[in-house]
Structure 1
Amino acid sequence: MDIILSTDAIRQPLTGIGRYTSQLARQLVQHREIDEIWFSHGGTLLRRIPEARQRPAAVNWLRDGFSKYSPLLNAYRKIHSFGKAGSIRHLKNALYHGTNYYLPKFAGRSIVTIHDISVFTLPDCHREDRVNFLRKEMALALERATGVITVSEFSKREIIAQFNWPAERIYVTPLAGAGIFHPQPDTELTPLLRSSQLLPGSYCLSVGTIEPRKNLGALLDAYACLPLRLRRLFPLVLSGHSGWNSRALLDRIQRAAREGWLRYLGFVPDSHLPALFAGARLFVFPSFYEGFGLPVLEAMSSGVPVICANAASLPEVAGNAAAMFAPHDTNQLASLIAMGLENEEWRSAATANGLRQAAQFSWEKCTEQTLLAYAAALSA
């Protein structure tokens, strides 16, 4: 097969979609079924996987500032689409894979990964300009696509219901934790965590962008219900860059930090994440909605007990290995956190079950299922 892989999502800060794209790219370049592979990055066609680089601050400022104006946003869409379409025009015998909701105009076959459709089902959890932009791009991608890839059965059902897309042309390719996430002894973790002023087994961790969809308000409410002794003994540690509509959450986070039971690390580089996960006493993921929920697998792979919401795709990912709660039930969440911090019998069982559950997922499996989707699209 000849493949063109979109790699625009490989940039800092690396999101779940960026991790997916990066891991898939690494697997495809060494796979025997791939004859030629190109990487579509912006309006450039590369022969090597691009590095995850930070956007210049001025670019982010301009993007956020002008995103409120629909004519400017539409002009950006057209310019971006024109440049990308031009760079791949001569490769019409290859299959184009858009890994992040988007497909450019292309004469050859194409397949698009739609991770979730929350801009349709939960529009209030996104900026209005992002909702408008993604709705247009997703509708256009589905018109152009030969097939659709998604990352969970939950998302497949939602795509079918929302777009009446044929089920036989939707391919589910579950994600996996990277090999860098694994249990580590305290002797190795102690120096690695020193820069964050943390000790192994001394904190409860939650990772994700600070935004309403992640349901961090419920987590803060639940943690505040715990005895102050327990909160200070095992403070809540949050990692993730501040996202849309986060001001009120950040104010609450700062108050909790002043009270001595919360640490906010902001964005943590990829190189520091394995130690941060493996050093946690407990991992909590309260999100309302996830197309997959990769941090749950990363925590389980790290040998850390997991508590997560029983919402969207998370039950598929966590299986029976995590303690689950209804996303709005802060009392239930508080009770589970207390158990997760203090009940050694449950902690031991959750760790063992989590390692077994995480072992069922791998990037090799994800890649094999992706190649089946490619083959079906090329033969359609």
Structure 2
Amino acid sequence: MKVIYTVDAVRQPMTGVGRYTLELARALARQSGVSLTFMQGSRHLDALPVPAAGHPFVPVLRNALSGFSLPTAVYRHQLGLRRARALRGHAEAIFHGTNYYLPVFPGRSIVTIHDVSAFTAPEYHRPDRVRYMHKEVALAVRRAARILTVSEFSKAEITRVLGVDPDRIRVTPLGIGPEFHPHEPAALKAALSGLPVQPGGYCLSVGTVEPRKNLTVLLDAFASLPAQQRQRCPLVLAGDRGWESADLHRQISRAVRDGWLIYLGYVPDRQLPALMAGARLFVYPSLYEGFGLPPLEAMASGVPVVCSDAPALAEAGGDAARMVSPHDPRSLAEAIAQGLDDETWREQARARGLNRAARFSWERCAQLTGAAYRELAA
């Protein structure tokens, strides 16, 4: 069963979609009966690419052009034509668009739609992305024989917002890699030696600095904690600079000067598991997620979790995390304080988290994805 699998999202800085694309491809390669070839842009690849960093000026240019519809529309239209030409003569394969989009393809197609926030909460995205997704996701829905998504919440949203028959949708929950696990103290100290943090001495939040991640509320909540508590266990932010974040970065800079925040920027994949395992508490106040992988990765690392009660996070986390409204800094501050100092709650949360995280694997995601491929092949 030959599958052409898109890997455009496999690049640095790695996003949630990029991690899904990379880890699912690796797990599918371990399954029998599936022969993967890869498409990056309009090029066919025989091997899964290594995530590489683009030129540092590219994100700056993309953000600068996001308000202008014509340049981005022309570029994406031309890319779509090149992809369609590159796919001629491959009708015997199944085409899997892993990142919302499907080009014109003469065979059977399947698309992964991770969430529909570009439709329900467009303020969480750059304007050019909203315009493009409104157009291309509608085309993908029409072209796809099957639609994959990552949670029951997203399936319900795709059905409600895009009008898709739920019988066409398959839910393939994300997985947690084996690199996310509790670390021995000596190994953890060595792994964190290059970072300005002490094992067990910081509160961690991971994610791109952008409106959807709700970091303003997190900073307000953390700033309201007693000064001694903030100094003893500072907040560590790990994530790419993002967009629409100039005011937030000024707030981050003030907190850094005050001594209770450490901003690491983007942390490479090789360092992230140790950074996660070394945290005393993981906090994730996101306003919207299609799935929400970082809290589960923290749970797998043996770290208690406080997160927002966004529907997908509640679905994935179950009763293993303490959940609060993402709009209430006071409740978030109370949850953080408990997470840092209440040893009884911490031990209970750690045990529940390890048990919850054990339910999610990339092998299971690949099995469900392979089943969807076989439906099309039949």
Q: Do both proteins adopt the same fold according to a TM-score greater than 0.5, normalized to the shorter chain? A: yes
Name the residue aligned to 2:373: 374
Q: Which amino acid aligns with 1:202?
A: G
Q: 2:289 and 2:26 mapped to 1: Cα distance?
A: 24
Q: 1:165 to 1:222 in 2, by over 3 A?
A: same
Aligned residues: 378
The reply to whether residue 338 of structure 1 matches residue 330 of structure 2 is: no
* Aligned-residue offset at 1:261: 0.5
Name the residue aligned to 2:179: 180
Name the residue aligned to 1:191: 190
Deviations 1:69-89 (A, max 9, x none): 222222111111112222222
Q: Which amino acid aligns with 1:257?
A: V
Name the residue aligned to 1:44: 43
The reply to whether residue 250 of structure 1 matches residue 249 of structure 2 is: yes
* Aligned-residue offset at 1:67: 3.4
Q: 1:58 and 1:335 mapped to 2: Cα distance?
A: 40
* Aligned-residue offset at 1:61: 4.3
- Trace 1:88-99 onto structure 2 (pairs within 5 A): 88-99=87-98
Name the residue aligned to 1:166: 165
Name the residue aligned to 2:214: 215
* Aligned-residue offset at 1:58: 4.5
Q: 1:248 and 1:101 mapped to 2: Cα distance?
A: 30
Q: Which amino acid aligns with 2:9?
A: A
Name the residue aligned to 1:29: 29
* Aligned-residue offset at 1:64: 3.4
Larger CA deviation: 262-271 vs 193-202: 193-202
Q: Secondary structure at the match of 1:39?
A: strand
The reply to whether residue 293 of structure 1 matches residue 292 of structure 2 is: yes
The reply to whether residue 269 of structure 1 matches residue 268 of structure 2 is: yes
Name the residue aligned to 2:63: 64
The reply to whether residue 8 of structure 1 matches residue 18 of structure 2 is: no
Q: Secondary structure at the match of 1:120?
A: helix
Q: Secondary structure at the match of 1:196?
A: coil
Q: Which amino acid aligns with 2:109?
A: S
Structure 1, gaps ≥5 residues long: none
Contact 1:288 1:312 (C-alpha < 8 Å) held by counterparts: no
Q: Secondary structure at the match of 1:4?
A: strand
Name the residue aligned to 2:20: 20
- Trace 1:112-131 onto structure 2 (pairs within 5 A): 112-131=111-130
Q: Secondary structure at the match of 2:371?
A: helix
Deviations 1:146-171 (A, max 9, x none): 11000000000000001110101100
Q: 2:212 and 2:365 mapped to 1: Cα distance?
A: 26
* Aligned-residue offset at 1:179: 1.0
Q: Which amino acid aligns with 2:43?
A: T
Contact 2:305 2:322 (C-alpha < 8 Å) held by counterparts: yes
Q: Which amino acid aligns with 2:143?
A: R
Q: Which amino acid aligns with 1:102?
A: Y
Q: Which amino acid aligns with 1:218?
A: V
- Trace 1:201-212 onto structure 2 (pairs within 5 A): 201-212=200-211
TM-score normalized by structure 1? Answer: 0.97
Name the residue aligned to 2:363: 364
Q: Secondary structure at the match of 1:194?
A: coil
Deviations 1:165-203 (A, max 9, x none): 010110000001111110001211112212112111000
TM-score normalized by structure 2? Answer: 0.98
**Identity among equivalent pairs (%):** 51
Q: 1:372 and 1:51 mapped to 2: Cα distance?
A: 27
Contact 1:7 1:40 (C-alpha < 8 Å) held by counterparts: yes
Q: Which amino acid aligns with 2:88?
A: R
Name the residue aligned to 2:278: 279
Q: Secondary structure at the match of 1:313?
A: helix
Contact 1:242 1:266 (C-alpha < 8 Å) held by counterparts: yes
Q: 2:84 and 2:58 mapped to 1: Cα distance?
A: 22
* Aligned-residue offset at 1:291: 0.4
Structure 2, gaps ≥5 residues long: none
Contact 2:63 2:243 (C-alpha < 8 Å) held by counterparts: no
Contact 1:45 1:88 (C-alpha < 8 Å) held by counterparts: no
Q: How large is the RMSD of aligned CA atoms in angstroms?
A: 1.1
Q: 2:206 and 2:69 mapped to 1: Cα distance?
A: 32
